[in-house]
Chain A
Amino acid sequence: MEAAVWVIILPLLTAFFIGISKVYVKKIFVPLVISSAIIYLYLLILVINNSYPPNVYSVGAWRLIGINLMVDPFSGLFLLIIALLFLPVIIFSVKYIKSYKHEYFIFTYIMTAGIAGMVLTADLFNLYVFLEVSSLSSCALVALKKTNKGLEGAYKYLVMSTLGSFFILLATILTYYLTGTLNIAEISLEFNEIPFKIKSALMAFFVFGYVLKIGLIPLHFWLPDTYEDSPIPYNVLSSGLVMKSAVYALIKVLYIIFGIDFLDKSGLLQIGVFWGVITFIVAHLLAFQQSNLSRLLAYSSIAQIAYIMIGLFVGTEGGLIGGNFHILNHAIMKGTLFLVTAIFYYSLSAVNIEDIKGLAYKFPILSFTFVVASLAIVGLPPFNGFISKWLIVEAALESGFVYAAFFILVGTFLSLTYYLKVIITLYTKNDKEIVVEEPGLSLSLPTIFLGSLCIVFGVVPSLPLRLINKIPTFLLDNGEYIRVLLGG
């Protein structure tokens, strides 16, 4: 499984080479970026294909005394998201980004490497290191435009993300002190002897740290600011990958290290579902008030992540499948919405909802893509968002969270109201003469590709579900994961 480690070091190498090309050979910049992204896509497909049965790759061949990378279906899903989003975003950004081009690509590649590392590693401290790599470069991308709003968002992000990292690091140190090891499987075995009280405290640190990075409701206030004035292609990766990678780390730590029995006993599953319900209700209501398109999408992201949390915290097989499918779907739908917004911004620097009035007659295909993606994110059939939301509702009903299932339906109507507001504005005739700069094919093709995936995954959900169906085996029964990591 050499490809697993290449998935991490190829983006790193590309970022370093971009740094050199900025000074000496400016001409190879675009070929370097594009070819690296294509090779990366190939590597990702290779690794995803080998994700079942899980593979272990030992860095430095040290086995249990060193760092191990493990590819299981759960990390395979995240690699699939990178594979679907990364190349379109890179192609889009080559034309879209005009100032600080080199820096943008350096940080994007480093961020991707950090996310790939977080997803693949099976070592608790390594997880923290890659978390820092991805969140620091993500902060840099927020500040890239150097406008006042962007800098404010980056500063808030930096403070909150450092606070979250502090709690995660504290929990990691205490875990190492208690167990004497950093390998996730060994920690999980050692944790059987740790008293309930200490385990709960450690869990509280982990949950608080990661939830700060995810942005559930009382801890969400920094998040919309980071979306407002940052480069919009970055927002695609941010909502699709950076926030999700924190969800991934949280779920991995909770399900593998603490185990589903402890989560049930300590009541975290109930708390998680309740927290999710509160979050999406409040986030939908806040999204309704926004006039800035990026902020609206940011609040919508918070709400969608809350759906994902409900699915993952229901604690059954169906819930995990629904939640994971929604992770994939949300990345695609939100990616499409942000890319269309980016084209509107590129063509006539539209940031507010009023600015896009009547644009549907200028960009018929792109506006149709926007409608498809927003109906999908609301959760209407036959799009992909409907299926994953349906799976989450079904799982919530099955395990007795009737209130969660009811409020998801309420939330659907709430989200329909504000997305309809945008769509209606988009299709309202505007008498004003609009001068637009034509977006080329390199901007519209990635957008249409992602938008078409909304329909494809809605009509043929078995394509991604073949991978997702295998995820619960290794999360619900952490014994299976431990056996592979220790023995394989």
Chain B
Amino acid sequence: MNRINVISKKLYKIGLVVSLAIFLLFIFYDIHNLESNSKRYLSDHYISEGVQETGAINIVTSVLYDYRAFDTLGEATVLLTAAAILSFLVPITKDKMRGTPFTIIVSQTTQVFIPFLAILGMYLIFFGHLAPGGGFVGGVVIALIPILLTITYRVEFSEYKFKPDKKKVSEDIGAIGFVLIGLLGILTGSNFLANGQANVSLGDAGELISAGLIPYLNIMIGIKVGAGLAIIFNSLIKEK
């Protein structure tokens, strides 16, 4: 009797999932058949006018840091909140990771590797408006440095090199910097997070110093994401 109960419960769950899937399938089928390709004026505008209006060759960057920069501020805040939650929720105790089980090859290679990671991260951040990349991606690469230190040499060493307090402060500074750069728009008589509209010189598209305020926003997001991810990783690896 008990087994029948278990099986029927399982069937019930599977049935729910399958019926939801069939429902979604029909909806998606209907939506797909609808002729909605004519309504792409927003993305068409971004593609055709994006370079003139924002000065950034990378369209993704121009949408993320100019047209919809306010969303980026919100997403950065979500990341900051997540990092803050993890760092206070996870108990601060000594880690139980094994000492250094790696051979000397690993630790030596890590040392060689780190400058390259720094250069790559910097490149992704600073050239975010010209090439694929940007603050989020560059920040992740920068965050790899403390993460690599943690994995290779344990948490203590990583936190000795990059103090947790310093990381938290630099995360906050990145977020504050983003808002302050946005406020420049208000100071010049336009709106919050305005770039070209606030008469900021956009420069020649394709140069390193161009696209107005976008590179600086990229740097701020890079600092914030790098510090935030490092905090998240180190908080998660600490165990009771």
Q: Which of B56-87 contact A (CB under 8 A)?
A: 66-71, 73-75, 77-78, 80-82, 84-85
Measured CB to CB, the nearest residue on chain A to B77 is A133
Contacts of B45 in A (CB 8 A): 65
Closest 7 CB pairs of A and B: A180-B39, A129-B74, A61-B197, A19-B172, A61-B191, A16-B172, A5-B192
- A386 on the interface (CB 8 Å rule)? no
Contacts of A178 in B (CB 8 A): 31, 34, 36, 39
Q: How far apart sit A73 and B42, CA to CA, in the bound complex (Å)? A: 29
Q: Which of A104-148 contact B (CB under 8 A)?
A: 106-107, 110, 113-114, 117, 125-126, 129-130, 132-133, 136-137, 139-140, 143, 146
In the complex, the answer to whether B70 meets A60 with C-beta atoms within 8 Å is yes
Q: How far apart sit A174 and B182, CA to CA, in the bound complex (Å)? A: 31
Binding site for B on A (CB under 8 A): 2, 5, 9, 12-13, 16-17, 19-20, 22-24, 57-62, 65-67, 100, 103, 106-107, 110, 113-114, 117, 125-126, 129-130, 132-133, 136-137, 139-140, 143, 146, 174, 177-182, 190, 194-195, 197-198, 201
In the complex, the answer to whether A60 meets B84 with C-beta atoms within 8 Å is no
In the complex, the answer to whether A66 meets B31 with C-beta atoms within 8 Å is no
Contacts of A20 in B (CB 8 A): 169, 172-173, 176
**A60-B195, A67-B70, A180-B36 given as contacts; is B88 within 8 A of A198 (CB)?**
no
Q: How far apart sit A197 and B31, CA to CA, in the bound complex (Å)? A: 10
The total of chain B residues at the interface (CB under 8 A) is 52
Q: How far apart sit A19 and B164, CA to CA, in the bound complex (Å)? A: 12
In the complex, the answer to whether B182 meets A9 with C-beta atoms within 8 Å is yes
Q: How far apart sit A57 and B70, CA to CA, in the bound complex (Å)? A: 13
Contacts of B85 in A (CB 8 A): 136, 139-140, 143
- B201 on the interface (CB 8 Å rule)? no
**B192 contact from A9, A113, A182, Cβ within 8 A:** A9
> B-side binding surface: helix, strand, loop or mixed?
helix
In the complex, the answer to whether B179 meets A66 with C-beta atoms within 8 Å is no
Q: How far apart sit A265 and B178, CA to CA, in the bound complex (Å)? A: 46
**B185 contact from A60, A65, A129, Cβ within 8 A:** A60
Contacts of A126 in B (CB 8 A): 70-71, 74
Measured CB to CB, the nearest residue on chain A to B195 is A60
Contacts of A177 in B (CB 8 A): 31, 36
Nearest-CB distance from B127 to chain A (Å)?
23
In the complex, the answer to whether B169 meets A195 with C-beta atoms within 8 Å is no
Contacts of B191 in A (CB 8 A): 5, 57-61
In the complex, the answer to whether A61 meets B176 with C-beta atoms within 8 Å is no
In the complex, the answer to whether A136 meets B82 with C-beta atoms within 8 Å is yes
- B52 on the interface (CB 8 Å rule)? no
In the complex, the answer to whether B176 meets A60 with C-beta atoms within 8 Å is no
Nearest-CB distance from B197 to chain A (Å)?
4
Q: How far apart sit A177 and B182, CA to CA, in the bound complex (Å)? A: 30
In the complex, the answer to whether A130 meets B74 with C-beta atoms within 8 Å is yes
0/1 string, B159-188, CB within 8 A of A gives 1: 000000100110111011001001101100
Nearest-CB distance from B195 to chain A (Å)?
7
0/1 string, B22-37, CB within 8 A of A gives 1: 0100010011001010
Q: How far apart sit A262 and B69, CA to CA, in the bound complex (Å)? A: 33
> A-side binding surface: helix, strand, loop or mixed?
helix
- B198 on the interface (CB 8 Å rule)? yes
Nearest-CB distance from A58 to chain B (Å)?
6
**B39 contact from A22, A179, A197, Cβ within 8 A:** A179
Nearest-CB distance from B75 to chain A (Å)?
6
Q: How far apart sit A423 and B206, CA to CA, in the bound complex (Å)? A: 72
Q: How far apart sit A414 and B34, CA to CA, in the bound complex (Å)? A: 50
In the complex, the answer to whether A181 meets B39 with C-beta atoms within 8 Å is yes
**A195 contact from B30, B81, B175, Cβ within 8 A:** B30
In the complex, the answer to whether A60 meets B81 with C-beta atoms within 8 Å is no
Name the residue among A5, A57, A139 with the largest chain B CB count within 10 angstroms: A5
Contacts of B67 in A (CB 8 A): 60, 62, 65-66
- B152 on the interface (CB 8 Å rule)? no
Known: A12-B179, A180-B36. 5 other contacts (CB 8 A): A113-B77, A129-B74, A133-B78, A178-B31, A198-B31
**A58-B191, A100-B88, A103-B88 given as contacts; is B169 within 8 A of A9 (CB)?**
no
- B89 on the interface (CB 8 Å rule)? yes
In the complex, the answer to whether A59 meets B31 with C-beta atoms within 8 Å is no
Q: How far apart sit A168 and B34, CA to CA, in the bound complex (Å)? A: 21
In the complex, the answer to whether B77 meets A198 with C-beta atoms within 8 Å is no
In the complex, the answer to whether A195 meets B34 with C-beta atoms within 8 Å is yes
Q: How far apart sit A20 and B169, CA to CA, in the bound complex (Å)? A: 5
- B102 on the interface (CB 8 Å rule)? no
Name the residue among A23, A62, A103, A113 with the largest chain B CB count within 10 angstroms: A62
Q: How far apart sit A114 and B73, CA to CA, in the bound complex (Å)? A: 11
